[in-house]
Structure 1
């Protein structure tokens, strides 16, 4: 099974991004996603910078490089930038918005279907395959059962199963809004946010009255409070035919995360349980850690 490094979902300054990818290039990753998926105002790296970084990473290792597009396109300028990204001519694109799917289909270019496309059944998957989809990243709330049912349904339709990439580690992206929650938390307008996201390299924790972390606010994105971690589920993931496990970047400790997943795929026994949440995978509320609930 392959390991991928998802796009950085948080807003880090340029130097931190470059240092981070320099470190990741030395690790046993098979696929590395680049680009901004959350907010068009985050321009620590431009499209040309991302492409330049991709060329540098290509010289450092053998990982497949993919360029991810925005998830929520709200303005004509953002649509124009998305079109330019789809026309990059060098890298495979991860489509996170149906606008990107349309651009790529018109150009006859293959793509990765990102988790924000909300594909939940074989009929939708077949439609995207006809548009050029090579790999499918199921929505983060997709359970093992739903994934299995989708693949079986593909067989029943007589369609080739797509390569499947499961979001296996990181804060789960749950929802997107036209409103910037981080700016609002600092009493700033979205159009005058002053890039306050950079002050929160792993988002703002949103706590319940009891002090429990319910969500993580990341600009216009709402994420899970706890980190999702499917490492204990490795045998079942492998049995379902999952080809890629996506590890979503965090500000600290990613090298250790990559090594832990790599050890398991190389034959080490997976842990019985880990910190974080895995409820969605078991068809339960996402914030749960099923091992604790079922004791």
Structure 2
């Protein structure tokens, strides 16, 4: 199995981003996704900066994929999307159907990100004819559904043509909104947010009235409170047909997760935590997503 480093979902200072990807270049990650997927106001790095990092990673032997915004709200954002789809150095992860359309028009191969609602092999077959090479399973799908999808792909002789990637580590990206929750938490309008996301490099914890951790707010993105960690179940993912395990950066130390996962794969043993302390795997097992469940769905 291959390991990918997903796009950075948080807003980190420029120097921290460059340092992180400098270390990613010598990490065990096979694939690295780059770019801003959450909010176009996050401009610590511009398109040329991301391309410079991409070229450095490519020289280090990494497969580099440029990721697009999930929610396109302005003509300026559409312009950035077009430039990303026009470049031909690196494959693109499309996180919006508009990006898929642009890439299909250009005859470019692409990855369908987790924000694209692919729930069956028929949708994947349609996208494969438009250039799909890999899809990232929506985070809410359980393992038994994935098994059926991969089986249907195999029956359609598409399993070898379409790779399957699963969100194996990180806070789950659950929803996106035109409203910025971080700005609202600071009593600021979205257009005058003062880039407050920089003050929350792991998002803002949101608790229920009884004090339980409920969600994590990250700009316009709502994420899970707990971190999903499927490292202890990677062998079950492999049995379900997963080709790539995605590690989503939570902190600069998330590269340690990549190291541990790669070593576990080499040694054919489980990786990471096997209890439910601050982690969740409910969606994978067919339970409520915020739970840690030890019984996998049938």
Q: For residues 211 and 225 of structure 1, what CA distance do their matches in structure 2 show? A: 12
Partner of 1:273: 274
Partner of 1:3: 3
Normalised by the size of structure 2, how large is the TM-score?
0.94
**1:87-134 deviation line (CA, Å, top 9, x unaligned):** 122111000000100000000000001000010011111111011000
Q: For residues 212 and 11 of structure 1, what CA distance do their matches in structure 2 show? A: 25
Corresponding residue pairs, total:
293
**1:9-49 deviation line (CA, Å, top 9, x unaligned):** 00111101001111111111100010000001111111111
Partner of 1:185: 185
Query: Structure 2 stretches of 5 or more lacking a match?
Result: none
Q: Secondary structure at the match of 2:21?
A: helix
Q: For residues 209 and 83 of structure 2, what CA distance do their matches in structure 1 show? A: 45
Preserved contact between residue 25 and residue 56 of structure 2 (Cα < 8 Å)? no
Q: Secondary structure at the match of 1:62?
A: coil
**1:64-97 deviation line (CA, Å, top 9, x unaligned):** 0110000000111111110111112211100000
TM superposition shift of 1:154: 2.4
Q: For residues 158 and 26 of structure 1, what CA distance do their matches in structure 2 show? A: 36
Q: For residues 266 and 200 of structure 1, what CA distance do their matches in structure 2 show? A: 35
Partner of 1:211: 211
Preserved contact between residue 6 and residue 32 of structure 2 (Cα < 8 Å)? yes
Preserved contact between residue 285 and residue 296 of structure 2 (Cα < 8 Å)? no
Partner of 2:293: 290
CA RMSD between the two structures: 1.7
Partner of 1:230: 230
4+ runs of 1 displaced by more than 3 Å? 155-161
Q: Secondary structure at the match of 1:77?
A: helix
User: Structure 2 matches for 1:11-30, cutoff 5 A?
Assistant: 11-30=11-30
Partner of 1:153: 152
Preserved contact between residue 150 and residue 241 of structure 2 (Cα < 8 Å)? no
Normalised by the size of structure 1, how large is the TM-score?
0.95
